[in-house]
Homo-oligomer: A and B are copies of this chain.
Amino acid sequence: MAEPLKNTFFVSSRAAQQLIDITGQVQATVDRSGIKNGVCFLFLPHTTAALTLNENWDPAVPADILHTLEHQTAPSSAAHRHQEGNSPAHVRSSLLGASQFLLIEDGRLLLGSWQGVFLAEFDGPRERRVIVKVMEG
Contacts and interface: CB of A to CB of B under 8 A. Distances in A.
Determine how many copies of this chain the complex contains: 3
Given A54-B94, A68-B91, A70-B76, 18 more contacts: A39-B133, A43-B101, A43-B103, A45-B110, A45-B111, A46-B115, A47-B54, A58-B83, A63-B81, A65-B87, A65-B94, A67-B80, A68-B77, A69-B91, A71-B76, A94-B96, A95-B95, A135-B137
A20 interface: no
Interface in A99-137: 99-103, 105, 110-115, 131, 133, 135-137
Nearest to A112: B45
Interface of A: 4, 6, 37, 39, 41, 43-47, 52-55, 58, 60-61, 63-65, 67-73, 75-77, 79-84, 87-88, 90-91, 93-103, 105, 110-115, 131, 133, 135-137
Contacts of A114: 47
A93 B100 CA distance: 14
A115 B47 contact: yes
A129 to B, nearest CB: 8
